[in-house]
Amino acid sequence: MPKQKMKVASRVAARKFRAKTVGLPPGALIHVGEQKIERPVISFFDYDPGKLESRQDVSIEECLAMKSSSTISWINLDGIHDIPLLEKFGQNFDLHPLALEDILNTQHRPKLEEFEDYSLIILKMLEFNEETEQISAEQISLVLTPHYVLSFQERPGDVFDGLRDRLRRSNGRIRQRGTDYLVYGLIDSIVDSYFQILEKLGDRLALLEEQLIVAPNQDCQHKIHHFKRELLNLRKLVWPLREVISQLYSGEAQLVEETTAVYLRDLYDHVIQVLDTVELYRDTVSGLLDLYLSSISYRMNEVMQVLTIMASLFIPLTFIAGIYGMNFENMPELKQSWGYPAVWGIMIACVIGMLTYFKRKKWF
Amino acid sequence: MPKQKMKVASRVAARKFRAKTVGLPPGALIHVGEQKIERPVISFFDYDPGKLESRQDVSIEECLAMKSSSTISWINLDGIHDIPLLEKFGQNFDLHPLALEDILNTQHRPKLEEFEDYSLIILKMLEFNEETEQISAEQISLVLTPHYVLSFQERPGDVFDGLRDRLRRSNGRIRQRGTDYLVYGLIDSIVDSYFQILEKLGDRLALLEEQLIVAPNQDCQHKIHHFKRELLNLRKLVWPLREVISQLYSGEAQLVEETTAVYLRDLYDHVIQVLDTVELYRDTVSGLLDLYLSSISYRMNEVMQVLTIMASLFIPLTFIAGIYGMNFENMPELKQSWGYPAVWGIMIACVIGMLTYFKRKKWF
Amino acid sequence: MPKQKMKVASRVAARKFRAKTVGLPPGALIHVGEQKIERPVISFFDYDPGKLESRQDVSIEECLAMKSSSTISWINLDGIHDIPLLEKFGQNFDLHPLALEDILNTQHRPKLEEFEDYSLIILKMLEFNEETEQISAEQISLVLTPHYVLSFQERPGDVFDGLRDRLRRSNGRIRQRGTDYLVYGLIDSIVDSYFQILEKLGDRLALLEEQLIVAPNQDCQHKIHHFKRELLNLRKLVWPLREVISQLYSGEAQLVEETTAVYLRDLYDHVIQVLDTVELYRDTVSGLLDLYLSSISYRMNEVMQVLTIMASLFIPLTFIAGIYGMNFENMPELKQSWGYPAVWGIMIACVIGMLTYFKRKKWF
Amino acid sequence: MPKQKMKVASRVAARKFRAKTVGLPPGALIHVGEQKIERPVISFFDYDPGKLESRQDVSIEECLAMKSSSTISWINLDGIHDIPLLEKFGQNFDLHPLALEDILNTQHRPKLEEFEDYSLIILKMLEFNEETEQISAEQISLVLTPHYVLSFQERPGDVFDGLRDRLRRSNGRIRQRGTDYLVYGLIDSIVDSYFQILEKLGDRLALLEEQLIVAPNQDCQHKIHHFKRELLNLRKLVWPLREVISQLYSGEAQLVEETTAVYLRDLYDHVIQVLDTVELYRDTVSGLLDLYLSSISYRMNEVMQVLTIMASLFIPLTFIAGIYGMNFENMPELKQSWGYPAVWGIMIACVIGMLTYFKRKKWF
Amino acid sequence: MPKQKMKVASRVAARKFRAKTVGLPPGALIHVGEQKIERPVISFFDYDPGKLESRQDVSIEECLAMKSSSTISWINLDGIHDIPLLEKFGQNFDLHPLALEDILNTQHRPKLEEFEDYSLIILKMLEFNEETEQISAEQISLVLTPHYVLSFQERPGDVFDGLRDRLRRSNGRIRQRGTDYLVYGLIDSIVDSYFQILEKLGDRLALLEEQLIVAPNQDCQHKIHHFKRELLNLRKLVWPLREVISQLYSGEAQLVEETTAVYLRDLYDHVIQVLDTVELYRDTVSGLLDLYLSSISYRMNEVMQVLTIMASLFIPLTFIAGIYGMNFENMPELKQSWGYPAVWGIMIACVIGMLTYFKRKKWF
């Protein structure tokens, strides 16, 4: 039970941020959300088809050179709570104050925002906690320019390791292509990770269904409630992504080339598939609730039948026994030698009558 | 319970206004809604990048000068029940009778109405009463012209203090921009305050959920019903705002410049986020109702099982005891010395049989 | 209960009309619906900014003069069941047979039909019967031409008295304007009357909610069912009006001038507000049903707990008493002087045990 | 109960047809559905404003002459299972194989199909069986060409008798107009018959509702289920008709003239009214289910209260009586002369206590 | 119950595939889904109006000749798990890596993807397992080029035998037409097989409904749950097909000729009919759940009434008998000779009173 509580609490926290910004000018930089890392870390990849340079934990000044070079650069920042650092990013890479505000506000919906010479893409990286069975979200902001990509993460650890490996291999397609393909690769990694989460959720739902059929109990009900909420949340996080990707490939983002658009269309199909599956799971969960409720009803019925059969059989018998337990002086039956067996006979007849009745009613 | 009643009553009152206007010509000025302030108060801000003048409690004549000055002016009226004063506003600032009627009718949906040389924007400022857990709405009407902004409030006290502070500081962006940016600032303050209300609502829902899991009672049910209605109401108030802002930035309002439109697009995202959260809360509340109902069902089941077990165990035993409490003269078992222990034996066998049966049915 | 029945019957009657027209040519004039007045009555208003003539109960011939005069005329017919009279109207005012059929068929949805040189507008005037709490509809058909307006009502009595007063006053705006403004005035009066009905409905819902919280009974359930149906019906009657008015102001009706269109846009907002409120009430009613059902469930739980506690406490005790009511000769306990107090002791122990158990289960 | 079964079975049969066609080339003529008439019968009407010829049971060769004549002809075939005859129709009247296949497949949705020089319209003629309360559908296919109309029915008996009478009267509008008006007349007859069915359905729903309020039983529940399904089915059959008519009058069917289009627009309104009513009935039926379920719940509550009151009153009394039925030698109360009255006193006190408690709980 | 479990498990498996592809470059070929055949088998049909060649189990090289021949060829591959073979297909027939990836990923939604000189169509072939009552899907991918069609199946066995027969007959329409008509024929066969599955599902639903009305038990509930899920799944698989076919005939696929488009439009109608039926079944299933739940409720009511009647009749009688079983010395009634009959009289009066009460309550 405290588990449930904690989850709600954390979601509430998610709404807390805006309260702080009331009365502040738009574009004022405040980090909303919890600080998830001690010290922000900058790393970069700088490559063209022929060569690759990759470094961890560099200073912002070391990145500036790449801004104007003809190679493709991917500069990543883990930890966005350090506002002065972010402002420096803003000044050095000419980011609009509203863009910086969006990057800092980790409660944003996924969206694509076109600025004069760059695009800002906001995404959610999801993680499924095996123990609490909760999905937690981390916000990833991507800035796409002709020669470099900036990515901002809340904390270290992401789903881009496969992509990094492909960058390091010199023969991959990714090294031949521009920043738009790099951004596609980043989003693709994130969408692929959604499938993993759906798979885990599906396993849990299967377990829950099995338990519901074998032995429904109150814990099932809490779990149904829990998954319902997680799926609501998941849909809210993934749904806007559909539009983001469709805007990317339909030419709204001027930096995406036609050769990359075909990949984005494929990615769009994957997102649709994710959303389909979320809807399917939502229907499944609501089916599980029906199953739970009807199981409870059915079981109640069974319980009541047992009670009714027991009571209906024995209450009349007890009454008969009670009759001849009375102490009236004038009870002629008591004196007869056939009295006791006769009473037994009546009782057995009663029982047979009742059982026939219940049998006909199909109660057992 | 009287609490619940009061709330309904107040909402009903909200519908009362129209009854008064039946048969009146359109544009007839009647103040609908309750009078929320003793005496209307006019205040203004008059500024350009270089200087700022701000005064409280002035007369309408003092404001007229600003009408044609080249500075940006924001004239605010607290208390709209004084109809002659409002008519004077109308004449002096050339407002259409229908515009005045809309300002007076505090039951209006949020909307944007374009007139020849000004725009009328109607908004709702919301407040969450911590004690009654109800959301009350105050109507704000904004008149946007090239050189001044009029705002009409039902009562003093608003969410614009942060904005006023920014106006007073000479270096803020707001001092450099036109009336469209001022109006953006006003709407932004209102939308920011919605997040605060959502946060408080979220806290209450979290508390309610916890209580439902720990100890559901009839009070929970009334609270679920209450929040359901508040959210319905909230959605009804916020939903049209979406369209208002989209009309503002999409060029329907001719007074909004392109540089302000980018801020309004950002604001639009915030309103979408508010509506998403309202929908999420609505789904949450309906999930809570399911939880409540299934808890009740589950608990009923438990109660019935206890009853059935108790009755099924003891009713047969009582019957057996009743048998040997009969007073027939001819009951041979009664005379036997092993009779009494034998009866105990039968009884214990009965009990063990029943318990085994219930165990197998997984009743405990 | 006969009340409920009557209502359904009347709604069924509403569907009866079409059966009569099967096999008849389209445009055949048959009055469908009940005859609601003895004798049809014609009255008219004839005015221009300078003068006004108004007469009651005139013949159709007296109206013909106004057809070609330059003044604005409003000719009203109360009672449409007199088909020859209506045909005379049709011939004299050049109405299309389909238009006449629509006027006669009082089961029509609200609609706007454009004919060559006039527009036909069909509306519903609603009335709330305080006693039966039912909404009854009367159909109003308006024919809008450049110089006169025809209105057809099913029976005398309408919501246009305020409008008539304004016509009589020489200084009102309505006297300066054309037939389109007159039609606007008529529709406005009808929409204003909807607000009155919504207000009364709201009051009843508030009372019902209060009763549900204090003491839910089966009558509540029937009332919920009743209001649900009335709201369904109300929505069905008002919903198409939205489109009618939008067609009027959006230029589809060629007789509506731009100066009147601004008033119609305002009216459109009011209709949206009516529909919003109907939706809100529908959600409220379905919330009341949930409240009723969960109250019933909760109460059942309470009842069951009382039963279970009583039975669980006393059934074991009765069994113990039954044991020592047996008549075995060999029951050593009976002979002991401590037997009786000991039995009391055991019984009291039983009761305390049970109470502790129920307490721990939070049953009281 | 066998009734219910039969209905489902028949609906299933409706789906059977497709199985037969698997693997066949498209356009292969197979009659799907049951054969509903012994021998197909051809009849025709051939008319112009001046003269009319009408014959029953003619051969296909007798119809061919009308194909090229300048009069308007309506050729009707009752019974479509005779495939060679249909193929002859196809060859003689130049019908596309797909058109013939559509005519034969009596499970088709209503639709309008435009071919090069004719239009194919598929419709459903409905019948309400008073006894089984089921709606059965018969498919009508109309082929509209400039000079003749073909109609194909599954069996004799239709709703066109009124239309035939109008054709025979020489002064009707229908004789002056072309084939498009004839087709309008046919569809109008069918839509009018829908209103009759809705009226009958409405009567049944009213009866059902009355019974639900007076004495809900399990039969009600089966009827609710039955009507729900019939309405689902009805909607499925009528819904596509909306689009068919809208396509007809909006110019998609090149053979429909503007003067007929106005009648079709009116017809469209009628179809919308049918669909509105179907939706209203669906909502009504779902309201009836709520009513039924809450009645059942309420009644259960009542039953439980009676049980609880009886048990709570008498179980303690029986226990007290049991106490003094014990045979302990040492029970001092038994020897006292006030013992018996005292026990009665205690019992009466118990009863009064319980009754007060239940009274306070408002159980009776 | 293990049945249910298995099904869930298999659906979960369906989601497993994506997990494997995380971090891989897009277009990397991995077979996702289970391997359903030992050894892949290639077969082909090569025909023109005059001649036909058809062979089973050929090598890929034997097919290459047909690539450039002027005849129409249909090359079919059963078993897609052999990745090198598929890559060879890709190279020889110039398939895009993304196309190959889509073919291998058997979890794809149906879709149409246009590539430069061919179209990729992904479809689902469904099978209904009579025993487990589950629908299993097999993915079919079609590659449509001007001169040949490639089809990829997961395992041998399909619904195309009828089509093959028509190909072998030299006089069929299919031999006269191009590849677009062949593709139409393939899709048509698949859609026809959907009707078979719907028919079987309909039969099962009819049986289930009958059982629900005659004797609802917990097995019904599990079946309802089962069918609900199967229908959810079915809809998910068929829904996107609507769009695929509409894209095919609306000119988006450049290889489809106008003469084939008319057939595709007909096919589109069939798919709509499938979806309509799926929706109808979904509504039916949810109606069955309502039926089940209300049956359970009704039955509970009956059970409770029996219990209450039995208990209310006998508990008071038992109490009376208990009274006169007490052993007080001073109980004057016991000594009277009329005592015993009088008690019987009282008891009978009690019973008659109770029965009258229950009769009036209509409990039996």
Interface check for A333 against chain E (CB to CB < 8 A): the answer is no
Which E positions 13-52 lie with beta carbon below 8 A of chain A?
15-19, 21-27
User: E94 — alpha (psi -120 to 50), left (phi > 0) or beta?
Assistant: left
The residue to which tokens 């199967």 are assigned: E230
Number of CB pairs, chain C paired with chain D, less than 8 A apart: 177
Residue E67's CB: how many other CB atoms inside 10 A?
14
Q: In the prediction, which pLDDT does B2 show?
A: 40
Spatial CA neighbour of C125 closest among C134, C137, C109, C112: C137
Give C284 to chain D, closest Cα distance, Å: 15
Measured distance CA(A272)–CA(A245) in Å, rounded: 11
| A17 contacts on B by Cβ (under 8 Å) | 195
- Using N-to-C axis directions, what is the helix angle for C60-68 and C83-92, rounded to 10°? 20
Q: Which one of A307, A312, A336 would you mutate to disrupt binding with B, by most B Cβ within 10 Å of its Cβ? A: A307
| Residue of chain E whose Cα is closest to the Cα of A270 | E108
| Predicted confidence band of residue B63 (pLDDT cuts 50, 70, 90) | confident
- From residue A125, alpha-carbon distances to A106, A109, E145 in Å are 11, 12, 40
- Sheet of strand C41-47, all strands in order from the earlier edge strand to the far edge: C52-58, C41-47, C72-78, C148-153, C134-144, C119-129, C111-114
Spatial CA neighbour of B294 closest among D200, D3, A212, C156: A212
How does B174-184 read in b/e, with b if 16+ C-beta sit within 10 Å?
Answer: bbebbbbbbbb
Interface check for E352 against chain D (CB to CB < 8 A): the answer is no
Interface check for A346 against chain B (CB to CB < 8 A): the answer is no
D152 pairs with which residues across the strands?
D77, D141
Measured distance CA(D77)–CA(D153) in Å, rounded: 6
Give B330 to chain A, closest Cα distance, Å: 5
What tens digit of pLDDT does each residue of E182-238 get?
Answer: 999 999 999 999 998 998 999 999 999 989 888 888 889 899 999 998 999 899 899
Lowest-pLDDT range, A50-64, A195-209, B179-193, D17-31? D17-31
Give A264 to chain E, closest Cα distance, Å: 11
Measured distance CA(E328)–CA(D338) in Å, rounded: 9
Per-chain mean pLDDT for chain D: 84
Q: Which chains touch A (3 or more CB pairs under 8 A)?
A: B, E
Interface check for A364 against chain E (CB to CB < 8 A): the answer is no
Interface check for C58 against chain D (CB to CB < 8 A): the answer is no
Q: In the prediction, which pLDDT does A19 show?
A: 45
- Sheet of strand D134-144, all strands in order from the earlier edge strand to the far edge: D52-58, D41-47, D72-78, D148-153, D134-144, D119-129, D111-114
Q: E109 and A276: CB-CB below 8 Å?
A: yes
- Is-contact C40 C77, C-beta < 8 A? yes
| Residue of chain D whose Cα is closest to the Cα of C339 | D328
Residue A2's CB: how many other CB atoms inside 10 A?
9
The H or E element that residue D106 is part of is none
| C108 contacts on D by Cβ (under 8 Å) | 269, 273
Measured distance CA(B118)–CA(B101) in Å, rounded: 16
Q: Which chains touch D (3 or more CB pairs under 8 A)?
A: C, E
Lowest-pLDDT range, A296-305, B121-130, C14-23, E251-260? C14-23
| Predicted confidence band of residue D281 (pLDDT cuts 50, 70, 90) | very high
Q: In the prediction, which pLDDT does B302 show?
A: 86
Number of CB pairs, chain A paired with chain B, less than 8 A apart: 179
| Residue of chain C whose Cα is closest to the Cα of B315 | C315
| A172 contacts on E by Cβ (under 8 Å) | 25
- Find the angle CA(C78)-CA(C84)-CA(C90) to the nearest 5 degrees: 80
- Is-contact C123 C109, C-beta < 8 A? no
The answer, yes or no, to whether ipTM is higher than 0.85 is no
Lowest-pLDDT range, B53-62, B104-113, B242-251, E7-16? E7-16
Q: D209 and C4: CB-CB below 8 Å?
A: yes
Q: Which residues of chain A have pLDDT under 50?
A: 1-20
Measured distance CA(D105)–CA(D86) in Å, rounded: 12
| C213 contacts on B by Cβ (under 8 Å) | 1, 4-5, 222
Of C19, C24, C25, the CB nearest to D195: C19
Give C283 to chain B, closest Cα distance, Å: 8
Q: In the prediction, which pLDDT does A142 show?
A: 94
% pLDDT > 90, chain B? 29
| Predicted confidence band of residue B352 (pLDDT cuts 50, 70, 90) | very high
| Residue of chain B whose Cα is closest to the Cα of C164 | B23
Measured distance CA(A102)–CA(A120) in Å, rounded: 9
What token pair was written down for B148?
Answer: 């001044």
Q: Which residues contact B249 (CB under 8 A, 6 or more apart)?
A: B256, B260, B261, B264, B265, B268
Q: E300 and D300: CB-CB below 8 Å?
A: yes
Lowest-pLDDT range, B131-140, E72-81, E164-173? E164-173
| Predicted confidence band of residue B32 (pLDDT cuts 50, 70, 90) | low
What token pair was written down for E359?
Answer: 């009769």
Read off the amino acid at residue D2.
P
Give C240 to chain B, closest Cα distance, Å: 20
| D213 contacts on C by Cβ (under 8 Å) | 1, 4-5, 222
Which B positions 288-317 lie with beta carbon below 8 A of chain C?
289, 292-293, 296-297, 299-300, 302-304, 306-307, 310-311, 314-315, 317
Measured distance CA(E289)–CA(E134) in Å, rounded: 19
What tens digit of pLDDT does each residue of B261-297 get?
Answer: 888 988 998 899 899 899 999 999 999 999 998 888 8
| B163 contacts on A by Cβ (under 8 Å) | 23
Of C214, C287, C328, the CB nearest to B340: C328
What token pair was written down for C319?
Answer: 């069994």
Q: B304 and A306: CB-CB below 8 Å?
A: no
Interface check for A114 against chain E (CB to CB < 8 A): the answer is no
Measured distance CA(A206)–CA(E2) in Å, rounded: 12
Beta strand C72-78 pairing with C148-153: parallel
The residue to which tokens 């300002």 are assigned: B103
Q: B98 and C263: CB-CB below 8 Å?
A: yes
Res. E22: pLDDT tops 70: no
Measured distance CA(E274)–CA(A215) in Å, rounded: 37
| Residue of chain D whose Cα is closest to the Cα of E167 | D25
Measured distance CA(D102)–CA(D124) in Å, rounded: 13
What is chain C's pLDDT, residue by residue, as a tens digit (364 residues)? 344 443 443 343 344 444 445 556 666 666 666 666 678 899 999 998 888 888 888 888 888 888 878 889 999 999 888 888 888 888 888 888 888 888 888 888 898 888 888 999 999 999 999 888 899 999 999 999 988 999 999 888 888 988 898 888 877 778 888 899 999 999 999 999 999 899 899 999 999 998 988 888 888 989 999 999 899 989 989 999 998 999 888 877 778 888 888 889 889 988 998 998 999 999 999 999 989 988 888 888 888 888 888 888 888 898 888 888 888 888 888 888 888 888 899 999 999 999 999 888 887 7
Number of CB pairs, chain D paired with chain E, less than 8 A apart: 181
Interface check for E348 against chain A (CB to CB < 8 A): the answer is no
What token pair was written down for E222?
Answer: 């599990």
| A292 contacts on B by Cβ (under 8 Å) | 294
Burial environment of residue D338 by CB neighbours within 10 A (0 to 12, 13 to 18, 19 or more): exposed
Interface check for B197 against chain A (CB to CB < 8 A): the answer is no
Measured distance CA(A186)–CA(C104) in Å, rounded: 67
Spatial CA neighbour of C357 closest among B309, B154, E275, A243: B309
- Could you tell me the pTM of the whole model? 0.79
Q: Is C255 helix (H, G, I), strand (E, B) or coil?
A: coil
Q: Is D292 helix (H, G, I), strand (E, B) or coil?
A: helix
Q: B218 and C330: CB-CB below 8 Å?
A: no
Kindly state the DSSP code that residue C329 receives in the 8-state scheme. Answer: S
| Predicted confidence band of residue B148 (pLDDT cuts 50, 70, 90) | very high
Q: A22 and B276: CB-CB below 8 Å?
A: no
| Residue of chain C whose Cα is closest to the Cα of D167 | C25
Measured distance CA(E234)–CA(E136) in Å, rounded: 9
Give C199 to chain D, closest Cα distance, Å: 24
Lowest-pLDDT range, A226-240, A274-288, D254-268, E13-27? E13-27
Q: Which one of B32, B113, B227, B314 would you mutate to disrupt binding with C, by most C Cβ within 10 Å of its Cβ? A: B314
| B326 contacts on C by Cβ (under 8 Å) | 327
Lowest-pLDDT range, C320-329, E5-14, E112-121? E5-14
Spatial CA neighbour of E23 closest among A237, A130, A172, A244: A172
Measured distance CA(B133)–CA(B223) in Å, rounded: 10
The residue ranges of DSSP E strands in chain B, in sequence order, are 41-47, 52-58, 72-78, 111-114, 119-129, 134-144, 148-153
Spatial CA neighbour of E188 closest among E276, E263, E250: E263
Of C163, C195, C283, the CB nearest to B18: C195
Q: Is B280 helix (H, G, I), strand (E, B) or coil?
A: helix
Q: In the prediction, which pLDDT does E37 show?
A: 65
